[in-house]
A and B are shown apart, each in its own frame.
Chain A
Amino acid sequence: MQLSTDIVNDYLVVELKGELDHHTSEDARKKIEQYYYNNNLLNIILDLSQLKFMDSSGIGLVMGRYKNCKERNGNLLIVSTSPYVNKILKMSGLMKIIKVYSTIDEAIKG
């Protein structure tokens, strides 16, 4: 799995590419937390639109980052266009508490 980050305004934008499962999620968590805390940021945008696969380990990753942001009174936003990723997000109930956008620009504009 590939992970790239960018800082836009006070958002940490994280783009995830490839397959997000138990094997790859721990490394992703460490990298995201490192960028988030080292840059003293409030908000995170997780861009899942280029994921080819995600299982419940991805749900755990999203829930963990949601907690990180809430502890700092920040927001976690998701960008996702994949019907398969959306299916598992919806099933987990995360879509009720986290806003999902189609593009990073839309997420930043709110």
Chain B
Amino acid sequence: MVEKNCMKLEFLSKSSNESFARVVVAAFASQLDPTIEELSDIKTAVSEGVTNAIIHGYEYGEGIVIVETTIENNIIEITIEDHGKGIADINKAMEPFYTSKPDLERSGMGFTVMETFMDDLTVESHVNKGTKIKMTKMFKSLSNRE
């Protein structure tokens, strides 16, 4: 069993920080000794969440993105929060291929990727206040060993 551990990361909403955020979360998650595939899934989901905060939350303006990660036993919980414009219609935003910015060559697959690569995803958003997404994943590699 892995003892509870947590970390908090705050950074400016710059696209160059997308790789920084996913690498830091992956490094933290490594304490759970995940498989390469599990680690890759987490990196992809974090990248999607942080990209959403930068493009949609702050619309390329300057703001702070907060990433918190908790690990306990074989479960990782990741929250990605911004204090940007918020999402008016969460259900619409989560539809596959829907994008509010079609001119930017976005695929509209961000939430679908997060839902697929993680076990659970919840989105909390308030217009003009911000968005907080919470994702969890159970490391099967660890549960198989115990």
Binding site for B on A (CB under 8 A): 19, 21-23, 25-26, 29, 53, 55-57, 59-61, 63-64, 83-84, 88, 91-92
User: B51, A59: Cβ atoms under 8 Å?
Assistant: no
| Chain B neighbourhood of A92, CB < 8 A | 107, 109
Q: Is the interface of B mostly helix, strand, loop or mixed?
A: helix
How long is the Cα–Cα vector from A23 to B21 in the complex, in angstroms? 13
| Chain A neighbourhood of B107, CB < 8 A | 56-57, 59-60, 63, 92
Tell yes or no: B146 within 8 A of A by CB.
no
How long is the Cα–Cα vector from A91 to B109 in the complex, in angstroms? 9
User: B47, A60: Cβ atoms under 8 Å?
Assistant: no
User: B109, A22: Cβ atoms under 8 Å?
Assistant: no
| Chain B neighbourhood of A91, CB < 8 A | 109, 112-113, 116
Size category, B interface: 20 to 34
User: A60, B106: Cβ atoms under 8 Å?
Assistant: yes
How long is the Cα–Cα vector from A21 to B112 in the complex, in angstroms? 16
User: B19, A19: Cβ atoms under 8 Å?
Assistant: yes
The closest CB in chain B to the CB of A58 belongs to B107
Q: Find B18's partner among A22, A26, A29, A63 (CB 8 Å cutoff).
A: A22
How long is the Cα–Cα vector from A59 to B112 in the complex, in angstroms? 12
Known A61-B105, A84-B37, A84-B40: A56·B48 in contact at CB below 8 Å? yes
Mind listing 7 A-B residue pairs with CB under 8 Å? A21-B18, A21-B47, A23-B15, A25-B105, A60-B105, A84-B37, A91-B112
User: B51, A22: Cβ atoms under 8 Å?
Assistant: yes
Known A21-B19, A21-B47, A56-B48: A29·B55 in contact at CB below 8 Å? no
Min CB–CB distance A52 → chain B (angstroms): 10
Min CB–CB distance B39 → chain A (angstroms): 10
